[in-house]
A and B are shown apart, each in its own frame.
Chain A
Amino acid sequence: MSLENNQQVGPSAPPPHLRVAGIEKRFGGVHALKGVDFEVARGEVMALVGDNGAGKSTLMKVLAGALVCDGGDFFIDEEPVVISNPHDAGALGIQIVYQDLALCENLDVAANLSLGAEPVKSGWPFLPRFLRPLDDLEMEVRAKAAIDRLQVRTLRSVRAKVGGLSGGQRQAIAIARAVGAECSVVMLDEPTAALGVAQTRQVLDVVKRLRDTGHAVVYISHNMRDIFEVSDRICVLRHGANVATWKTSETTADEIVVAMTAGLDSGTNNAA
């Protein structure tokens, strides 16, 4: 089934970095994921699309270890791995940026970027680690490096409180926090859903920047224009199962929308 459905990409697809096969997930009587296959390569933006309830978020949570799947195989660089909790995913370099971002608005950019892994000054061995003085200068240096890597040009200061930043800047900071933690796979859940035109542009630039630095990016969105601008491949889910995966350059928004809403059976020109 999966071979047939993936034929649109065929052998020309790049070797996957993260690959899952036959993912099953049930919530009580609801069969949320029915043997889903998914893959993403380094230096690629893989868009994950589907109607509401198609299983996008469930699949992403399974990949991030936030949900434990009922069956299926995980591979990193074709080596089988186990992802059963967020810690496993983090250790494998898989990071997720949730739609709500989970930033602390009362803290500044540098503090948010090092949250949970704050650097402390050396030389206070008699204190437990959580009471040693914070090295906030090191924090700022790291934050600057992370922001510069993503080339967020509009951000003036890493000492600005996140509460005073624009939506696009916040999204960029949430992405920078995920990327900062030694990751190879970044999953973005609707990163532009609440943003205006200029903000969206900023976030899409950050996504392209991630791809150019060799990350594997999974991009969930409803916005066809964004998807066609930023993605390399598009994976369509419907009713918890794969419909197909297309190369973005070889398909159209209409085709994707039809696949999302009606699947391939009633689609007219999906014979490729």
Chain B
Amino acid sequence: MQPDTSFSPIDRLRRMRETRLGSFVPVLLALAAIWVYFGLALPLWDFWSDPDAGSIRFIFLSPRNIYNLFMQSAVIATLAVGITVVLLLGEIDLSAAATAGVCAALLGVLVLAGIPGWAACLIVMAVGVIMGAAQGLLIAYVGIPSFVVTLAGLLGYQGLMQKILPTGNLNIGDPFVRAIARILIPDLWGLVMAGLLVLAIAALALRRQAERKARGLELDTNATLWGQVAFFAIIVFAAVLTMNAYRSVPLLIILLTGVTAIVGWVSTSTPFGRSIFAVGGNAESARRVGMNVRRIRVVAFGIVGLLAAIGGIFGASRYGSVSYTAFAGGSLLLESIGAAVIGGTSLFGGRGSVWNAILGALVIGSLGNGLDLSGASAADKLMFSGAILLLAVAIDALSRPAGNGAR
């Protein structure tokens, strides 16, 4: 029987974690800790320990650095959003970065051959879906574990990328592709969009509350309602104002937010998304209520493929080139899986959110960026990333609602 502890702090914490925003708290705390450490603690320490320093220099928290941080994390975030979808199913995709690499390389070759940029983007997105869904078919219908299939995919797609790019490097000058990362939204427009977004969220929340009242359902407290709106408004405006302070909001970030919003909406608010969570929570249960578990798996891997392709396009646009090490051969894969997991998505399926993956990508990006700024070696960066990943999984395991064995 559920003990009636509606006023104990632990119960409140659990309730908070079960709300949509509450699950953000651990990853936000991690982000805050990293930012405070690199942004405040390190500069202050340098200032006090070095008598020659004239003034404190907050490099990490400068708008310029935050802007670059967002841009650097965008590719990781795109892949992490896709990987989150398969993690929700209880599967894993090790081939996402290699898929992104193949798609980016193909994009480069296509625009070099004179195909217009927009058409090339659509083609590589279709190719990404096919690459992902092909793996999904092997997993769902042949019954090979996703770990093995996507490991094979990782190797195979790495090879494929080298076939497409024998030199390992290709510059991309196509104006359409470059524009994705270059176009900036004017300052005022950025603020107007942020304002409209917040108003829309508030209106939706109020309408929902009114509908709940009309139907006699339990209501959220006003504090929860307005807390969520305020929390959302603070994040949106802080991000927009920071980016405006350096340049402006880049189109890339808007696109990333839009893609994430679509995937997030599908995963939480449609029957298909519900079936993803159901399969991740209890595949047998999903099968018994008549869901086509195999088809759901294939589609989910198709979605990762699509997002990997989009990540590839974003990357090609941002770097202005495609190189083997930036995608398939580098650390992108582990960073994006790490971002999804640090965001709080369970490796065992059924729990998580694509928005958390973006915050997880920011954690990974901030860590790398901060260590770079403080002059750490590549070895230090790897070890720190590993420690943070471990910490994130441990926090997730500890803050899980007590259910297994505790009752």
- Docked-complex contact A164 and B403, CB < 8 angstroms: yes
A164 and chain B: residue at smallest CB distance: B401
Task: Kindly supply a per-residue 1/0 record for chain B positions 265-297, scoring 1 wherever the CB is within 8 Å of any chain A CB and 0 otherwise.
Answer: 010011110110110111011101111000000
Interface centre among A104, A132, A161, A199 (most CB of B within 10 A): A104
- Cβ of A168 under 8 Å from chain B: yes
- Docked-complex contact B401 and A157, CB < 8 angstroms: no
The B-contacting residues of A in range 172-186, CB under 8 angstroms, are none
Contacts A106-B280, A141-B215, A154-B2 given: A116-B270 contact, CB under 8 Å? no
Name the distance in Å between B12's Cβ and chain A's nearest Cβ.
14
- Docked-complex contact B407 and A166, CB < 8 angstroms: yes
- Docked-complex contact B269 and A116, CB < 8 angstroms: no
The A-contacting residues of B in range 318-366, CB under 8 angstroms, are 349-351
Give the docked Cα–Cα distance between A144 and B218 (Å). Answer: 10
Q: Which residues of B contact A116 (CB under 8 A)?
A: 278, 286, 289-291
User: Among the listed A117, A131, A157, which residue makes an inter-chain contact with B266, where contact means beta carbons less than 8 Å apart?
Assistant: A131
- Cβ of B1 under 8 Å from chain A: yes
- Docked-complex contact A117 and B289, CB < 8 angstroms: yes
- Docked-complex contact B403 and A163, CB < 8 angstroms: yes
- Cβ of B211 under 8 Å from chain A: yes
- Docked-complex contact A103 and B282, CB < 8 angstroms: yes
- Docked-complex contact A106 and B350, CB < 8 angstroms: yes
Q: Which residues of B contact A160 (CB under 8 A)?
A: 2
A116 and chain B: residue at smallest CB distance: B289
Q: Which residues of B contact A3 (CB under 8 A)?
A: none
- Cβ of A13 under 8 Å from chain B: no
- Docked-complex contact A118 and B281, CB < 8 angstroms: no
- Docked-complex contact B350 and A104, CB < 8 angstroms: yes
- Cβ of A91 under 8 Å from chain B: no
Contacts A137-B215, A156-B2, A166-B2 given: A120-B271 contact, CB under 8 Å? yes
Q: Which residues of B contact A272 (CB under 8 A)?
A: none
Contacts A103-B282, A116-B291, A144-B217 given: A165-B2 contact, CB under 8 Å? yes
- Docked-complex contact B274 and A137, CB < 8 angstroms: no
B278 and chain A: residue at smallest CB distance: A104
- Docked-complex contact B271 and A104, CB < 8 angstroms: no
- Cβ of B182 under 8 Å from chain A: no
Name the distance in Å between B201's Cβ and chain A's nearest Cβ.
16
Give the docked Cα–Cα distance between A177 and B218 (Å). Answer: 21
- Docked-complex contact A154 and B1, CB < 8 angstroms: yes
User: Among the listed A102, A111, A141, which residue makes an inter-chain contact with B274, where contact means beta carbons less than 8 Å apart?
Assistant: A111
Give the docked Cα–Cα distance between A100 and B205 (Å). Answer: 37
- Docked-complex contact A137 and B212, CB < 8 angstroms: yes
Q: 6 closest pairs, A vs B, by CB?
A: A116-B289, A104-B281, A106-B350, A102-B285, A106-B281, A163-B403
Binding site for A on B (CB under 8 A): 1-2, 4, 14, 18, 208, 211-212, 215, 217-218, 266, 269-272, 274-275, 277-278, 280-282, 284-286, 288-291, 349-351, 401-403, 407
